[in-house]
Amino acid sequence: DAEITQSPRHKITETGRQVTLACHQTWNHNNMFWYRQDLGHGLRLIHYSYGVQDTNKGEVSDGYSVSRSNTEDLPLTLESAASSQTSVYFCASSENQGLGSIAFFGQGTRLTVV
Amino acid sequence: TQLLEQSPQFLSIQEGENLTVYCNSSSVFSSLQWYRQEPGEGPVLLVTVVTGGEVKKLKRLTFQFGDARKDSSLHITAAQPGDTGLYLCAGMDMGRRALTFGSGTRLQVQP
């Protein structure tokens, strides 16, 4: 069965370190997204990609970067981790189905920056 | 940035009661989706509504999209403990083909 997986599921890192969160999908979807989820804010869009070599900034992109070298993967990098980036991160993918597009989410990565 | 406001934020009810969750925005969305999320898991899609005034039913859940496509509601009839979870509405921004999420309604159904 097709799926979307994130790794690691839990990560503790120190302030100032570079951290990369992995996202891998086997749906062969063109669109991939990274969100962060914090209490009281729902899910907020960090970065998204429509296809290989395409990346775009979302509402809360400062301090984060992504790259899309193939269809399956969209790794999220925190250039210099800050305590404000402690959060749960979700990756999602969807097809180009327009109005009815369904997004499939990974199980999330809980990141703690100390 | 398009914003979605959900109400109430928290809801604790007894098994068998009915409830309604609201999702409101000042912006028009091309479509609106409802997700349910359980602890330690990602959101899972429940329904997509596309047409203004559209009503969709999923067993005991009824979803409605406002005529102006700015608001939506989720009504649960005879709630069960298995309905417990975080309910999220999300509007599709066709310019970006990305979802904008509301802050969520945390529902707890007591047996």
* Average pLDDT for runs of 10 along chain B of length 111: 86 97 90 91 91 93 93 96 95 76 94 94
Give me the pLDDT at residue A35, please: 95
Q: How far is B46 from chain A (nearest CA, A)?
A: 10
Q: pLDDT tens digit string along A71-94?
A: 999 999 999 999 999 999 999 998
Q: Which residues of A67-92 are buried (b: 16+ CB within 10 A; e: fewer)?
A: ebeebbebbbebeebeeebbbbbbbb
Q: How far is A72 from chain B (nearest CA, A)?
A: 18
Give me the pLDDT at residue A98, please: 54
Minimal Cα distance from A90: which residue of B? B42
Burial of A57 (0-12, 13-18, 19+ CB in 10 A): middle
Instruction: Say which of A99, A102, A106 has its CB closest to residue B30.
Output: A99
Give me the pLDDT at residue A60, please: 94
Are the beta carbons of A90 and B42 separated by less than 8 Å? yes
Give me the pLDDT at residue B29, please: 86
Chain A residue numbers touching B40 (CB-CB < 8 A): 107-108
Give me the pLDDT at residue B26, please: 87
Confidence of residue A97 (pLDDT cuts 50, 70, 90): low
Chain A residue numbers touching B101 (CB-CB < 8 A): 35, 42-44
The three-state (H, E, C) secondary structure of B29-92, written as one string: CCCEEEEEECCCCCCEEEEEECCCCCEEEECCEEEEECCCCCEEEEEECCCCHHHCEEEEEEEE
pLDDT at A19 over 70: yes
Give me the pLDDT at residue A42, please: 84
Instruction: Say which of A40, A101, A105 has its CB closest to residue B92.
Output: A101
Instruction: Say which of A42, A59, A92 has its CB closest to residue B103.
Output: A42
Are the beta carbons of B42 and A40 separated by less than 8 Å? no
pLDDT at A41 over 70: yes
Give me the pLDDT at residue B2, please: 66
